[in-house]
A and B are shown apart, each in its own frame.
Chain A
């Protein structure tokens, strides 16, 4: 249905649509198809063998562990940050919002390097950590820190506009009705933001499992120990083991597709509660 006042000539419309479809096809669908085709080039058995290889399984387990730690922590911190920014007035609020967005504007490699500079053998806290036999870089804590840093903004960014638009009236109502701060949060605030929160967590999780740059810097690339799935894909690819590389990559692709499906489902069903309405 064409809207009044927005009637482009047929040729222009056709050209624009064709360009968009072509672009999506070339940039997204073709690579997606390529990943799945390459992964299954030698059949299901080879695919299955590739992902049940001990190193591959270790990388899958590690990715799941990293996500299982960093996503919940980022969810809690994201809610806290969004709550503080949207429901209270304080000095330096604009600065805090800018800092929340920082990880998005910094190259992931730099994000990883920061942690090497802090906790690496030659880093600020390196000697102290070594003296106490604590390993952060080239170990799980480093992977979790780098992942948390990169994925921190997702939950907070989704919630800040939503919570700002909802205002404080519901919370104030709960307070006048005798609810404690804790009861207000669980019974009023959280239900009000639940779909927006789920949306943010979904994006946060997809990025946490897929992050390459920052994780690559702190990982040390020890196969079977500190390689996450994206790093394992690179390692296999560098070995010219294309089927195995694409097999692991296909799992990451599958994650992307599931995320997309859930995200679209949420957007379709709960539009009003996901984004700020004006």
Chain B
């Protein structure tokens, strides 16, 4: 599903976090929001999720204006930097959460839910680990559970906030490949936040480089490398 951000602004107690940001993302794209801390990349992601409301501007998902919609009704999956798994639930219960809280009318039956959980565990390569609690899983495994949980309600858009931030290099590489494959197989439109240029360029179809609440450049990694749009982009890449 395509995503359009139109003239979005947001400020936190005096200092602007986003300053008149516009962005158009095609359906099926994998986009990285890259920038130093405080550049507004996480704020933009949270506005897309509905966890923050913009002061000005509009957000469109396809032909739908979702600017005022609640997170639940946007059809998104969100993956948090520190997983935010429910520690009193097993991996399987975490994944099933989004299905179990559905209204009775639309909620799948118990059997359908457990079938779906098994599918999702398989999708993120965690077969057989459904009965483990988050504390019994490694960092990489926890993030896979968080990913499966975010995908349970079949979102069209996947939003990830520094999804690999807390992981070591090897696990990070594996998870990156797994994520790319899932994105392609499910035909998702995905946006992830990172401060790591190498990661943004390796995984993103296009990269939006943010600085002080503005988008400095939004282009493919190759274009950014060949034609940096500003002095900031040039210095950030070095």
Contacts and interface: CB of A to CB of B under 8 A. Distances in A.
Interface of A: 169-170, 172-180, 183, 187-188, 191-192
Contact of A176 (B49, B85, B102): B49
A170, A173, A176 interface centre (most CB from chain B within 10 Å): A176
A173 B72 contact: no
Given A191-B86, A192-B87, A192-B88, A175 B98 contact: no
A187 B97 contact: yes
Given A183-B101, A187-B97, A176 B88 contact: no
Contacts of A169: 80, 82, 84
Nearest to B87: A192
B77 interface: yes
A176 to B, nearest CB: 4
Contacts of A179: 72, 97-98, 101
A187 to B, nearest CB: 7
B101 A177 contact: yes
B96 to A, nearest CB: 10
B152 interface: yes
Nearest to A169: B84
B98 A177 contact: yes
A174 B101 CA distance: 9
A176 B101 contact: no
Nearest to B101: A179
B88 A173 contact: no
Contacts of B152: 177
A171 to B, nearest CB: 9
A176 B76 contact: yes
B237 to A, nearest CB: 32
Interface of B: 49-51, 70-72, 76-78, 80, 82, 84-88, 97-98, 101-102, 149-150, 152-153
Nearest to A188: B86
B49, B70, B71, B76 interface centre (most CB from chain A within 10 Å): B71
Contacts of A191: 86, 88
B72 A178 contact: yes
B51 A177 contact: no
Given A169-B84, A170-B86, A191-B86, A175 B101 contact: no
Given A169-B80, A192-B88, A174 B97 contact: yes
Contacts of A172: 51, 71, 78, 80, 84
A172 B82 CA distance: 12
Contact of B150 (A174, A176, A187): A176
B80 A178 contact: no
A176 B71 contact: yes
Contact of B98 (A170, A178, A188, A192): A178
Contacts of B97: 174, 177, 179, 187
A132 B81 CA distance: 60
Given A178-B72, A188-B86, A191-B86, A173 B101 contact: no
Contacts of B150: 176-177
A172 B52 CA distance: 11
B87 A176 contact: no
Nearest to B93: A187
